[in-house]
Amino acid sequence: MISVVIIEDEEYIRRELVLTTPWERFGCTVIGEAADGISGTELILRSRPDLVVTDIRMPGMDGIRMLEEVCRMSTAGSRPVAIIVSGHQEFEYARSALKLGVEDYLLKPIDDQELERVVRSAVIRVKSRSDELLARLDREVQGRIESLIPAADTRTLEQSHAGVAVQFLSDHIGDHIGLSEVAEHVGITASYLSRVFSERTGYTVMEYLTRLRIRRAAELLRDHSLQVKEVMIQSGYYDPSYFGQVFRRFMGLTPSEFRDQFGMRDSHAASGNQCNERP
């Protein structure tokens, strides 16, 4: 559901917006309301709604200043789409609203059909920005995962001792293996494998295996159907504390934090808008 907050100092208009607008029909739910710009700013920053419907002239802080404050104090990904309702048809207000990327500017008394049209448009915008943000997030996290092991030149590794070792490591990420097992599979001594492997890949055998394991863990953690313990075991770790320590060293987050931030989510779970940009 798309979350909505209503900021309006006239109580009867605020209650009408909250209670009579068919929010559920648009896939929305009202999560909060405020009667002035100061409390409205606090509410928006605290609850991070997808959509804000606000008046302009309010005690303490007007709606334009409130939206400017929200933009100033928020990241681009957490700024809501905004609809302004006002009893004042003033060019400067409208121009300021457009600069903030406001979805639309409605005059009071509010026409129900016009409100529904604007809400539908705002919902489309929220969903569009959600999809864009999630797609960008996917690209960013995939880039981070892939950077654990830069793509090797398979033509130079394929027939080499190092190439055979890399394939063996890739096939046994979840197994309890060490340098001696890899060297035995390749058919050379551990000391010779260590030297040629480092020359060809830039990593020791165990450093490479660790990166493979963390890469697998990061990919698996994005799937919420798997428990963190399952991910740990499938990635070749059996001590939760050690797994968490190694994962954090490479990814900058604990496994649980990584899942919360980068796990696959519903395509409309996150939204936001740039202050001076419209899609």
Q: For the chain, what is the HEC assignment?
A: CEEEEEECCCHHHHHHHHHHCCHHHHCEEEEEEECCHHHHHHHHHHHCCCEEEECCCCCCCCHHHHHHHHHHHCCHHHCCEEEEEECCCCHHHHHHHHHCCCCEEEECCCCHHHHHHHHHHHHHHHHHHHHHHHHHHHHHHHHHHHCCCCCCCHHHHCCCHHHHHHHHHHHCCCCCCCHHHHHHHHCCCHHHHHHHHHHHHCCCHHHHHHHHHHHHHHHHHCCCCCCHHHHHHHCCCCCHHHHHHHHHHHHCCCHHHHHHHHCCCCCCCCCCCCCCCCC
Q: Please, what are the averages of pLDDT over each run of 10 residues along the chain (279 residues)? A: 95 95 95 96 94 93 93 80 85 72 87 94 88 70 71 56 90 94 94 91 91 92 89 95 93 87 53 48
Where do we find the tokens 């907050």? 5
Q: Across the strands, what pairs with 234?
A: none
Q: What is the pLDDT of residues 128-144, one digit of tens each?
A: 887 776 677 667 777 77
Each domain of the chain, given as residue ranges in start order, spans 2-138, 147-238
In angstroms, the CA 99 to CA 94 distance is: 9
For 232, other C-beta atoms within 10 Å of its C-beta total 24
Q: What are phi and psi of 50, to 5 degrees?
A: -80, -30
Where do we find the tokens 């009579």? 20
Residues 220, 173: contact at Cβ < 8 Å?
no
Q: Residue 25 class from Cβ within 10 Å (0-12 exposed, 13-18 middle, 19+ buried)? A: exposed
Q: What is the pLDDT of residues 215-256, one digit of tens each?
A: 999 989 988 888 999 999 999 999 999 999 999 998 888 999
In this prediction, residue 274 carries a pLDDT of 47
In this prediction, residue 77 carries a pLDDT of 65
Q: What is the pLDDT of residues 45-60, one digit of tens each?
A: 999 899 999 999 999 9
What token pair was written down for 267? 């395509």
pTM here is: 0.56
In this prediction, residue 67 carries a pLDDT of 94
- Terminal Cα-to-Cα distance of the chain (whole angstroms): 21
Q: Across the strands, what pairs with 58?
A: none
Q: What CATH number should be reported for the domain whose range is 147-238? A: 1.10.10.60
Over the range 186-203, which residues count as b (16 or more CB within 10 Å of their CB) and which as e? bebebeebbeebeebbee
Architecture of the CATH domain 2-138: 3-Layer(aba) Sandwich (3.40)
In this prediction, residue 225 carries a pLDDT of 85
